Structure 1
Amino acid sequence: MPALPTRGSYNVKEAYAELSAPVLSDTPFFDLLEFTGAVRWSDYSTSGSTTTLKGGVNWKPIQDLRLRASYAEGFRAPSIGELFGTQSRFDQQINDPCSTSTTTGQNWNNNSTVRTNCIAQGVPAAGYAQANPQISVLVGGNQDLAAESSKSWIFGGVYSPGFIPGLSIEANYYDIKIKGAIQAVNAEITLAQCAGQNDADACALVTRAAGGQLTFVEGLLQNIAGIRTKGIDANLTYRTQKTSAGRFGFTWNNTFLTQYDVIVPTADGSLVVSREGTEQGSPSQAFPKWKSVGILDWDGTSIGATLTGRYVSAIREPLANDNKLKARFYTDFQLRWFPAEDPEAFGFALGVNNLFNVKAPGCISCDINNFDPTAYDLPGRYYYVRASFKM
């Protein structure tokens, strides 16, 4: 992946103010009512100036229950790397839909529209067989990038019942919209738009040799139309008081992804790619609908142990005829020792991740060793030893 040095700079000016206003407390149905607000003015030499707002409310109708809601506007100017990063090349595993050897998705063999569009792009009428699935993709910065902007809503609550000390139940719902998100459109999507829709913008990024062989796809950073994501985070925590056998704890954290839409601009409007529950492919990135982590914890007088379970729900591969990557459950274990008279002075721990050596599911469209390291552990168990000192 040859690349030249990167150099660039910009200037930033910002001003920020926030307000916290407790309105009611210690009254019926209003153990606490509080409003918060913030305003930020930003001026980037590369992206102009903007003003963003944030507001929220915290309400405790009773002491054990807290409800909250917030609205926030966001502004993210492109970074130096995104603006000034020099162009480089990487080889991506791509199945050309214009090839007679491609069997996944809409392709030359199963779709007459794809066949017609491919011929219009220079593929011979008799077709061609792709010689090399590793295609050069041009990546790099873009000095014409504009800033991202976002709007988000979050609603949630925490319940900590007084009759069960140490128990906390929390849930949050989020709805986030990002406008002008900075991304490189996946080369597979670019090819699919060119072959399937004859989209002029997409086809302008594709280069073919005289015989129709796919040789090059441009994937520089750009402001895509946007991202829309929704989901729920649900967590449960319980920790006992100190007993003769020590202290016990349980934590269960869950993330449920209900929507993740990537909106890609096209010559005729936009294309919505729904990512929830899918594998992006190359470059590898998974969007599981459910991820969960459960932790059992025990601390005695001078020893302790932690058992952790990690779950990733099943994922499908749209670029491989919806091949299913089955769900996985990983188990981690740690045993530790610390001096009873001063537990924070010194600590020693032995641990293993992926105790039962669970294998990552095979991924057809992924570009790294046929599995996705963003969602699954590297193959094999991972052992570690850790010592800590406090001076």
Structure 2
Amino acid sequence: MKITNKAHAVAFKKSSLTIGLSAALFSGLSFQGVAAEARTAEKVERIEVTGSRIKRADIEGSSPVTSIGRLAIESSGVQNIGELLQTVAQADLSGLTQLTNNTNGNDGSQTISLRNLGDNRTLVLVDGRRFLALGGGQVDISQIPIAIVERVDILADGASAVYGTDAIAGVVNIITKDGFEGVSLDASIGANFEGDGEYKQAGISIGTIKGNTSLFLNISKSEEKEIGAGDREISQYPVAYIPERFGSAFGLYGIFGTSDGNLSLDPAKEGDGIRTADDFEPFGTKHRYNFAPTNYLKTPSDRFNVFAKVNHEFSDSLRAFVDFTYNQRKSVTQIAAVPLTAGFSGPQWEIPFSKDSIYNPFGEDLASFGFRTLPIGPRTNIQDYDTYFITGGFEGEFEVADRVLLWDVSMSRGDSSRSVKGQNYVNLQNLRNAVGPSFIADGVAQCGTADNTIAGCVPLNIFNGETGFTSEMANYIGYELNDQVNTGTTNFAANISGELFELPAGWLGFAAGVEKRTNTFVDSPDALIAAGLSSSNFREPTNGSQTAEEAYFEFAVPLLADLPGVQQLDISLAGRFADFENSGFVGVDPVTSNFDNESFKVGFTWRIYDDLMLRGNYSDTFRAPSVDNLFAGGGEGFPSVQDPCNTTQFGLQLPDVQARCLADNVPSGGSTQPTGQLRALNGGNPELKPEEGNTKTFGIVYNPSWLDGFDMTIDYYKIELEDALSSISAGGMLDRCYVQGEEEFCGFIERREDGRIATVRTSQFNLDQLEVEGYDFNANYRFDTQDLGNFVFRLNGSYTDKYRSAGVGENINSANNRVASINSDILRWRGTFNTTWSYDDLTVTWGMRYTSNLIESCTIPDNFVDDGLATRELCNQRGNPGDENEAGFNRIGSVVYHDLSASYTLPWQASVRVGMRNVFRKEPPIALNPFANSFYSAHDIPGGTWFLNYKQDF
């Protein structure tokens, strides 16, 4: 991977590009014409680097930036931007999981999270501009085809003063190709060494410059095939190597809540025939269902992309530009067939199985029953995305008092439409009909009674196992859901920059500008979902928008130069002022809110001598809550929670807690709670305010003159965040209301007439404090030989020293600061090391990717192997009897992956590249915490991959 601490000037330059501010106020100052001519001559060398809006010839800034160039991208063999960014040392486990694992219910999008702070605290730019974001503020980077990417800059610094909201953890700036002439065709194929996960891509790039107009067009098509969880040993069970214990209670033998307890069909009695109550036995492990094999580890997708750039130069001082992106993506997610959870879940599942059903063998109404609807088929969501984003504007320069000022004005518009077709879900109204009274008429099973027949209904039989569940039954209760989600953005920006006047140490540079941005988000659930009549979790509609009006300034001030110990000392100053107006709906009620923010940044660069430079920054950071944070409709979930007022907990409570329970319609002695799960609806909170904090960085840049071709950087960072958004769980809501007596939280709790919990509303609040601290380091060494070719070595790494969080009422200094802590998924070390050898037309790259170990608490009893429940030991650090953690720990070992690629330039303007990722097919270490499989997304899908690329230029 190509890693450098300096941005590449040629790739980022758009002729002489952007900004300049009218300096009429300074026209009375004296400037020499010679200086103006010199600045005009060097104008084309001025570029904008990620982290600053000021165009300058010296691209060494105060902010740490890591770049991944085009050669490194091609050598890596990655299939998309998500896979590329997953290898970045500053990235964490919470981002980029959708196309690798943990695909339960996702939509195939890819996002990026830095510093373990979440994808909504990492700002993603395309060519230095904001791109179309999802409802939560994060960017789906799968919309950007890898074929058009020239390089990727990762700014590991808070940049709210420069770029605005969301840039708390850092900025990812995706730079697209520019200045291309000719025609280029390229095609790639690849697959996992296990024979699945096939990948195909083909594209054409056309670039031309005719007179004063340049055009770049890229059209590409890619296809990725799925990898099933059942096709890998580590993911074929919900917890690896434990075949039965952790399967679902809702399986093919049913679970029926009878007066004799929860019963299931004896597996030996599965099949045709009339069932009696004697055919059932108490529910046990053997009745559980393994849902894991149906899931995808890798989500299949098809993408079609069109990307175009047009630039026209009216004169030396005025140009117009238009950038256009269109992306169509079809992806498919798949999980196990619907589990019927009547009586075990939310109010829509309060569906009794009638004693008058012709199939009910128990002679009593069943208040609860469950069954896996395998005859209907797995839940398959077909995602159809259509996205476009267009930016147009003018840029140029003018001269005032012998000073060249740069300016640009642009307008952007983007829209994304996501249609979801969900196959093999269950219509709960039809289910209610099918499990109600039924009878036989003329040899045909009918729903209802002879006097009140339900037309078209087919009575449901789940008492004979899979055999009794016929295709007619499946067709009646099964249905296809349709969701629609729309996001939109409109951005206006005007910028100006240049040099104001000369100081003894150099010219004072500046940038300033204004922006206006509107984001909209509309989520329209399927009609049955919104009505609570679908087996898919209930979800309320969302409709909201946010408008931000912002102004910023930035100065680069040279303080000292050409002194002993101070070759050059510069400081940078930046500030941004923002106002946000929000409007949306909570239920059917319109709601508006507003807030503002001011952010400032100060940095320095101190070049001690040619070889050594110090740099540092202190910056305010902030993130405005997104439309989704503010106005999201409630989405249903079923967390494991104990009601403090239930029959088992009531007697354990203090008198004041019991009194609060009784005052809320709870019967004396407590309310019933049939299962360990309660229904929760998690939605937006229109009262949220921005998260605010600060970032400190300090770094060393060393380019020793005694070792030609070598450079290195080490940067320290510390991020502190106040008023961070944090959800109060259903259990937290109940505790705050009844145990702590905070009445404002009692309004989030809804009980039935009999006192049972019906729903607990949950949301986010400005509660948390976060603190992250660590180090980044880069080293590059290049040398050439006369006989053996050229060698390049590149090292990129990140070390997280502390990660601390604390909720309201807690002191962050007393919170856990151990990174590899119990139940933590925070990697202490991440890094890459790459060696590239070039000889004539041959280039070979060997890469290594490293992730450090993690430690998690052991949730698997030590008797599982002896009792035959597990086929191998999963916890590798068992405790001793009497220890505080007697169960012990599971140490997830460190991993080194090796990648190899080679390219050869052919005589007919062509090149071929072949390579492998995870050459030695390293297996991921077993983890117990991930849902639905047993390894973290930072680790590769087992098997390794190969790829082949051919490129032809004309």
TM-score after normalising by structure 1: 0.76
In the other structure, the counterpart of 2:924 is 360
Does the 8 Å contact 2:698/2:716 carry over to 1?
yes
The alignment status of 1:290 with 2:826, answered yes or no, reads: no
The alignment status of 1:311 with 2:850, answered yes or no, reads: yes
Quick one: percent identity of the two aligned structures?
Answer: 23
The alignment status of 1:274 with 2:816, answered yes or no, reads: yes
Deviation at 1:187, TM superposition (A): 7.1
1:26 corresponds, among 562, 567, 570, to 562
The alignment status of 1:157 with 2:700, answered yes or no, reads: yes
Does the 8 Å contact 2:600/2:619 carry over to 1?
yes
Does the 8 Å contact 1:314/1:324 carry over to 2?
no
2:618 corresponds, among 61, 66, 71, to 71
Does the 8 Å contact 2:847/2:899 carry over to 1?
yes
Aligned equivalents of 1:388, 1:227: Cα separation in 2:
47
Does the 8 Å contact 1:328/1:360 carry over to 2?
no
Does the 8 Å contact 1:332/1:351 carry over to 2?
no
Against the structure 1 CA distance between its residues 274 and 388, is the aligned structure 2 distance closer, same or farther, given a 3 Å change threshold? farther
2:609 corresponds, among 62, 86, 96, to 62
Aligned equivalents of 2:730, 2:950: Cα separation in 1:
46
Q: RMSD of the TM alignment (CA)?
A: 4.1
In the other structure, the counterpart of 1:178 is 721
Aligned equivalents of 1:215, 1:380: Cα separation in 2:
46
Does the 8 Å contact 2:900/2:919 carry over to 1?
no
> The residue matched to 1:366 in structure 2 has which SS?
coil
Against the structure 1 CA distance between its residues 225 and 372, is the aligned structure 2 distance closer, same or farther, given a 3 Å change threshold? same
**Could you tell which deviates more after superposition, 332-341 or 299-308?**
332-341
Does the 8 Å contact 1:156/1:172 carry over to 2?
yes
The alignment status of 1:84 with 2:650, answered yes or no, reads: no
Against the structure 1 CA distance between its residues 287 and 48, is the aligned structure 2 distance closer, same or farther, given a 3 Å change threshold? same
Query: Where is the strand percentage greater, Structure 1 or Structure 2?
Result: 1
Deviation at 1:4, TM superposition (A): 4.3
The alignment status of 1:325 with 2:868, answered yes or no, reads: no
Aligned equivalents of 1:135, 1:346: Cα separation in 2:
62
Aligned equivalents of 1:226, 1:239: Cα separation in 2:
43
Aligned residue-pair number: 362
Deviation at 1:158, TM superposition (A): 0.8
In the other structure, the counterpart of 2:687 is 144
Does the 8 Å contact 2:906/2:912 carry over to 1?
no
The alignment status of 1:166 with 2:705, answered yes or no, reads: no
The alignment status of 1:301 with 2:840, answered yes or no, reads: yes
Does the 8 Å contact 1:276/1:288 carry over to 2?
no
Q: What does residue range 9-20 of structure 1 map to in structure 2 within 5 Å?
A: 9-20=545-556
Does the 8 Å contact 2:632/2:683 carry over to 1?
yes
Does the 8 Å contact 1:173/1:233 carry over to 2?
yes
Deviation at 1:72, TM superposition (A): 0.4
Aligned equivalents of 1:331, 1:32: Cα separation in 2:
42
> The residue matched to 1:241 in structure 2 has which SS?
strand
In the other structure, the counterpart of 2:941 is 378
> The residue matched to 1:337 in structure 2 has which SS?
strand
The alignment status of 1:51 with 2:598, answered yes or no, reads: yes
In the other structure, the counterpart of 1:112 is none
**Could you tell which deviates more after superposition, 72-81 or 331-340?**
331-340
- Which AA in structure 2 matches 1:260? Y
Deviation at 1:324, TM superposition (A): 2.8
Deviation at 1:306, TM superposition (A): 1.7
Q: Which has the larger radius of gyration?
A: 2
The alignment status of 1:239 with 2:767, answered yes or no, reads: no
Does the 8 Å contact 1:254/1:293 carry over to 2?
yes
2:901 corresponds, among 335, 338, 345, to 335
Aligned equivalents of 1:91, 1:372: Cα separation in 2:
24
Unmatched 5+ stretches in structure 1: 99-107, 109-114
In the other structure, the counterpart of 2:136 is none
Deviation at 1:41, TM superposition (A): 0.9
Aligned equivalents of 1:130, 1:251: Cα separation in 2:
59
Deviation at 1:315, TM superposition (A): 1.3
- Which AA in structure 2 matches 1:330? V
The alignment status of 1:41 with 2:577, answered yes or no, reads: yes
Aligned equivalents of 2:915, 2:751: Cα separation in 1:
52
Aligned equivalents of 2:623, 2:556: Cα separation in 1:
25
Deviation at 1:294, TM superposition (A): 1.5
Deviation at 1:366, TM superposition (A): 2.4
The alignment status of 1:255 with 2:255, answered yes or no, reads: no
Deviation at 1:297, TM superposition (A): 1.8
Aligned equivalents of 1:159, 1:279: Cα separation in 2:
34
Against the structure 1 CA distance between its residues 26 and 270, is the aligned structure 2 distance closer, same or farther, given a 3 Å change threshold? same
Against the structure 1 CA distance between its residues 186 and 246, is the aligned structure 2 distance closer, same or farther, given a 3 Å change threshold? farther
Deviations 1:175-234 (A, max 9, x none): 11111122435779x49x959x95567996799999x99997755333222211111112
Does the 8 Å contact 1:263/1:270 carry over to 2?
yes
Deviation at 1:253, TM superposition (A): 1.8
Unmatched 5+ stretches in structure 2: 1-536, 583-593, 860-884
Aligned equivalents of 2:791, 2:674: Cα separation in 1:
59
